Amino acid sequence: MSPLRIIASLVLALQAAAAVAAAPALPAYGADLRHTSVSGLSSGAFMAAQIQVAYSRSIVGAGIVAGGPYYCAADSLLNAEICMGQVPLLPPNPFLMADAARGFARAHRIDSLANLAKRRIYIFSGTDDSIVRQPAVDATVAFFRQVGVKESNLKYVNDVPAGHALITPGHGNECSANAAPYISHCSVSGTNYDQPGVILQHIHGALNARVDVPAGQVVNFDQRAYAAAATGLADTGYLYVPQTCAIAGARCKVHVAIHGCMQSAESVGNQFYTDAGYNNWADNNRILVLYPQVNKSDEPYNPQGCWDWWGYTGDNYAYRSSRQMKAIMAMVKRLAQSH
């Protein structure tokens, strides 16, 4: 073999070794899965709604920020504009989606909808959101009422002059922005609105105060162990680990925070998994925060790096058998294994 070929082989080997080192296996922390919750923005909000409905036996609550109702697209991207509230006088029909969910539950494709009577749901729509407009989010609220979520467990915030973004103190764009990184700051009654804190406390009850500077650690992990590249999942996902959760026997809760379109690490770097505000609350409340990732791809057709809420991974995308949802739930289960 020529010296150049030897050097090239060594470089490839080093690159492969570096890739493996950059994405180790997801660690186990002995988490308490009785307190697993989910939230997301935009396509992540659609996905959070799907996970809450499909896995209602396991997920105790959801935060849905600028997302339409479960199964809104009904297997077709052609319905996306309706589901995003972009078609005047034609909002999504929550009654049809609720009927579909009842049928899926009877067929055992999703968990029993009876579980939703015990679940806590937070839903948000900014008045200046031009991407997922309020008629779509209104339909999400109506859907959850239709499938049995109690009014006392349902919190709908639709009067903040926010654009299309997750709202967190001190980071990102001005409140009304509809632009990357889709993280903004807003003032409500003279106080910075802390959406991750509101979500987590609506679902889990009163929590200890947020910390200004999280003292835990973000670890990256290999997502390919949970789903093939054809599912759209990126090679690498992220997990925030508070110091208290790194101790054996901590029995921490798990919150799954799901980014929106054009908001994965590929698009905005570390901004979603470090600046969104979840880690500040997790640090002082023994919560592991899982940040699964989807990247842009032409095959499946997903040029903006969105989670699948219309069927690009297959017609089972809204069922428990969905490849993306199964991957996320497998990651959660891994976190519960012995430390």
Active site residues: 42, 129, 164
332/253 Cα distance (integer angstroms): 10
3 state SS of 233: strand
DSSP 152-211: GGEEEE--S---SSEE-TT-SB-TT---TT-EE--EETTEE--HHHHHHHHHH-S-PPPP
**Closest to 270 measured CA to CA, from 171, 165, 160, 124:** 171
CB 252 within 8 A of CB 32: yes
Cis peptide before 69 (omega within 30 of 0): no
Task: Please name the amino acid found at residue 240.
Answer: Y
124/289 Cα distance (integer angstroms): 20
Task: Please name the amino acid found at residue 95.
Answer: F
3 state SS of 253: strand
Task: Please name the amino acid found at residue 170.
Answer: G
The residues, ordered by sequence, that sit 6+ positions from 88 with a Cβ below 8 Å of its Cβ are: none
Neighbouring-strand partners of residue 157: 124
CA distances from 2 to 5, 6, 7, 8, 39 (A): 5, 6, 9, 10, 54
CB 288 within 8 A of CB 30: no
What is the dihedral sign for C-alpha 253, 258, 259, 260?
negative
Task: Please name the amino acid found at residue 126.
Answer: G
